[in-house]
Structure 1
Amino acid sequence: MYFSKAIILAFAASALALPATNSKPVKRAGVLTATTYDNFQVSDGVAGNALDEVKAKFPIDFNDLANVDPDDLAIILAARVTAEDAETGTGGFNDAIDAAGSSTAAGKALQVGKIKNKVLKLELEVLGLQIQQAQSGKDNTDKIAAETTKLNTNIALDQKAAGQTSQSIDFSGDDDA
């Protein structure tokens, strides 16, 4: 009997010695730094791993989106806008492909780069929506689903072109919010 009471008291004492948990989520410090498009673009090199390249450039903890630093979210959102401008804006991929000719080697490499840029743009769009939903509770489910469908299509195109030369463009822009 005495032995049982001693064990119970030992467990109670060890439970009291455990650190108290804080129920509030702890915001993480930012992991991203604002930079130019040239530094965060993924269109150079070869096709096949665009999504991995994007994740390496934007190393966010995908398991804890509710605690992404607000400055990191601002960088992600600004980078998405810049990536879209690099695709469709003046001097972007569309203009470069038109100038090079889509059937030339240069035009084909630019088209591969454009697909990688689309993976960048769409991954940042989905990530931004997911972070906003996790942090605000705003339901972005429909937008996330629509953008994820586009993202998956472009990931498949990138993987289909694996090993092909990919060319970036000289584009001015940044991810500074």
Structure 2
Amino acid sequence: MRFSLALVAAYAAFAQAGVFTKQNYDDISISGGVAGNAQEEALAVFSALDMNNLAAADKDDIDFLKSVNSICNKAEKEAFNTAIDDADGEEADALQRGKIKNKVLKLQATMIRLMIEQAQGEDVSADIAKEQKKLNNNIKQDEEEAGKPSTFLSFDATTK
């Protein structure tokens, strides 16, 4: 009896583990390619999460989403901003488009985290409104540059 209870408890703990795995920034980055579909590309990064049952997400999922925000912020400041400052013309423009796509990924992670927190009973409506405004602005910028090249920059960081 003791063995089967332990097995059931272990299975339950496993079943409730977060859906995301530790990943390198380069593996989740959407900055390369072309502009115009950043929101869809960002949502694909988070497709393992059941968006129809956000209340079931756990702390590991929230921690992953927070870490995506953090490493995208670092990539923006330490990689994109520096590279853009050192470039000009179309090279700078393509880097800027990559930076915008990076920001969409960062903000989409934040929005999903906030939606999870809301689904779990937290009052984050003011934060959602603020972050949605930022996300919409960056999606608009990305869509305005649709079809134009965006530059991927490698960055050494890992999610939790």
TM-score by length of 2: 0.85
Match of 2:73 in 1: 84
Distance 1:108 1:28 in 2: 43
Match of 2:146 in 1: 162
Match of 1:40 among 23, 28, 31: 28
Unaligned runs of 5+ in 1: 1-26
Q: How many residues align?
A: 145
Moved over 6 A (4+): none
Deviations 1:77-120 (A, max 9, x none): 111111111112x3x2111100113xx22111100001101101
Q: 1:1-177 alignment to 2 at 5 Å?
A: 29-59=17-47, 60-88=49-77, 90=78, 92-101=79-88, 104-135=89-120, 137-176=121-160
Structure with bigger RCO (C-alpha 8 Å, 6+ apart) = 2
- Aligned to 2:107, the other structure's residue is in SS state helix
Q: Name the structure with the higher helix share.
A: 2
Deviations 1:120-172 (A, max 9, x none): 1111111111112222x221100100100110111111111110001021211
- Please tell me whether Structure 1 or Structure 2 has the larger radius of gyration of its CA atoms: 1
Distance 2:122 2:61 in 1: 19
Identity percentage over the alignment?
Answer: 44
- Matched to 1:32, the amino acid is F
- Matched to 2:125, the amino acid is T
How far 1:30 moved relative to its partner? 3.1
Deviations 1:16-70 (A, max 9, x none): xxxxxxxxxxx75533211000000100100111111111111122221110132
- Matched to 1:79, the amino acid is V
- Aligned to 2:63, the other structure's residue is in SS state helix
